[in-house]
């Protein structure tokens, strides 16, 4: 019976060599982000950005919701893959990081496809629901403060249409989810959300053991 392959640095390097499609704009934004305080830990891996773009294109998404912009790498990857006329609505608590992203979005020719909302993300999402936007998004990506993941998940699930996809980042959280000594609020929140998702019959799920853990959630039609 086949079991999970152990991912050595050499094997991960091979995977990157044979599958990653990079360019100067993406590479430049990653390099800049890596130089920022906590940038290496917070930025989306190149492979994950490529996966997000792949999923947006695969689903034909036109309306994408992102919770947690940071320096806009994932935003850029998704915006490039939108169906014609599509937009990414991305939420961040500060305009500092999206301000860095803007130069690279412009270079890539996708800045007109991106709508940045600054403020408390949960309030932004609740506001969208108040505007009658429930069920109007095709795709959502959650990558913000971990203690509020359950709230972001519930709001995103309301905003995504039946058959739509919600992608949650950091669901293995540096491996801390299996450490019984890790009882900080962020780890506990991710651990509890993972258990909740397993039994949430409103959705279909798949937790991918790549990057820092990526959970794909597909909203059922009924």
Mean pLDDT of 91-97: 94
The predicted pLDDT at position 147 comes to 96
The predicted pLDDT at position 202 comes to 97
- Structure confidence by residue, pLDDT tens digits, 139-152: 999 999 999 999 99
The predicted pLDDT at position 1 comes to 52
Structure token pair of residue 167: 């992608």
- Structure confidence by residue, pLDDT tens digits, 47-64: 999 999 999 999 999 999
Q: With b meaning 16 or more CB within 10 Å and e meaning fewer, what string describes 82-97?
A: beeebbbbbbbeeeeb
Task: Inform me whether the pLDDT recorded for 6 exceeds 90.
Answer: no
% of the chain with per-residue pLDDT over 90: 91
Of 176, 215, 177, 221, nearest to 198 (Cα)?
215
The predicted pLDDT at position 103 comes to 96
CB contact set of 189 (below 8 Å; sequence gap of 6+) = 146, 147, 148, 149, 150
Note the helical H segments in the chain: 9-19, 24-34, 39-42, 46-59, 73-80, 96-107, 121-130, 149-159, 185-198
- Structure confidence by residue, pLDDT tens digits, 195-217: 999 999 999 999 999 999 999 99
Sort strands 87-92 and 114-118 into parallel, antiparallel or unpaired: parallel
The predicted pLDDT at position 177 comes to 97
**Contact at 8 Å (CB) between 177 and 219?**
no
Dist CA 9 CA 166 (whole Å): 29
The predicted pLDDT at position 157 comes to 98
Task: Inform me whether the pLDDT recorded for 82 exceeds 60.
Answer: yes
pTM score of the predicted model: 0.96
Phi, psi torsion values for 119, nearest 5 degrees: 140, -175
CB contact set of 194 (below 8 Å; sequence gap of 6+) = 171, 177, 207, 215
Q: Mean pLDDT of all residues in the chain?
A: 95
Inter-CA distances, 102 with 114, 115, 171, 196, Å:
10, 11, 28, 36
Mean pLDDT of 9-13: 91
Phi, psi torsion values for 135, nearest 5 degrees: 70, 20
Mean pLDDT of 117-132: 98
């Amino acid at each position: 019976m086949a079991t999970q392959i152990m991912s050595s640095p050499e094997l991960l390097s091979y995977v990157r060599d044979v599958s990653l499609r990079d360019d100067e704009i993406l590479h430049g934004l990653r390099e800049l982000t890596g130089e920022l305080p906590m940038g290496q830990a917070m930025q989306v891996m190149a492979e994950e950005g490529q996966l997000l773009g792949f999923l947006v294109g695969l689903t034909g998404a036109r309306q994408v919701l992102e919770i947690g912009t940071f320096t806009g790498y994932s935003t850029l990857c998704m915006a490039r893959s939108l169906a014609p006329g599509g937009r990414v609505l991305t939420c961040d608590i500060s305009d500092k990081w999206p301000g860095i992203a803007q130069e690279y979005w412009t270079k890539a020719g996708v800045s007109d496809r991106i709508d940045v909302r600054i403020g408390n993300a949960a309030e932004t999402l609740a506001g969208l629901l108040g505007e009658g936007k429930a069920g109007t998004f095709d795709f959502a990506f959650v990558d913000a403060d971990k203690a509020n993941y359950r709230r972001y998940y519930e709001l995103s699930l309301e905003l995504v249409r039946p058959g739509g996809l919600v992608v949650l980042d950091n669901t293995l959280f540096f491996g801390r989810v299996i450490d019984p000594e890790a009882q900080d609020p962020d780890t506990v929140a991710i651990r509890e959300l993972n258990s909740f998702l397993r039994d949430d019959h409103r959705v279909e799920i798949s937790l991918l053991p790549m990057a820092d853990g990526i959970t794909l959630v597909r909203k059922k039609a009924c």
